[in-house]
């Protein structure tokens, strides 16, 4: 039970750290004003969400050895996408694609990856 809890939390931390790193690198590389985001900025955020979900889901599955872990990680990232819609001005399509970008990697890891390494 503790393995599932802490493994899933580890996946959430790994996913969020990955998202922050990719968004930081993209912000440095693309630059610009974040109050009026450009299309390359929005795409880099979508890539960060998808990569964070992939890394976090993989970490959760490896650490927790439980197929529910990736779903929890993907759910947390999807909730973050929804919260981001209310705090940062962005198009609605980005929220829809962002939720898919959070849940599809979690689904792939939960259903296709082996439980143990």
pLDDT confidence band for 2 (50 / 70 / 90) = very high
Confidence check: pLDDT of 114 > 80: yes
**Higher per-residue confidence, 36 vs 24:** 24
Distance in angstroms (rounded) separating the CA atoms of residues 101 and 78: 8
Q: What is the pLDDT of residue 101?
A: 97
pLDDT at position 16, please? 97
Tell me the pLDDT of the chain averaged across its residues: 93
Q: Which residues lie closer than 8 Å to 110 by C-beta, 6 or more apart?
A: 57, 61, 67, 68, 69, 70, 71
The tens digit of pLDDT for each residue in 28-84 reads 998 877 677 888 999 999 999 999 999 999 999 999 999 999 999 999 999 999 999
pLDDT band of residue 117 (cuts 50, 70, 90) is low
pLDDT for residue 90: 86
């Amino acid at each position: 039970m503790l393995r599932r809890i802490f493994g899933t939390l580890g996946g959430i931390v790994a996913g969020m750290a990955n998202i922050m790193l990719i968004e930081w690198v993209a912000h440095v590389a693309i630059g610009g004003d974040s109050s009026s985001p450009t299309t390359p900025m929005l795409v880099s955020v979508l890539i960060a969400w998808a990569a964070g979900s992939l890394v976090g889901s993989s970490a959760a599955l490896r650490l927790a050895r439980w197929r529910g872990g990736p779903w929890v990680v993907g759910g947390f990232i999807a909730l973050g996408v929804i919260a981001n819609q209310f705090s940062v001005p962005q198009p609605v399509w980005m929220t829809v694609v962002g939720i898919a970008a959070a849940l599809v990697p979690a689904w792939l890891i939960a259903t296709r990856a082996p439980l143990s390494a």
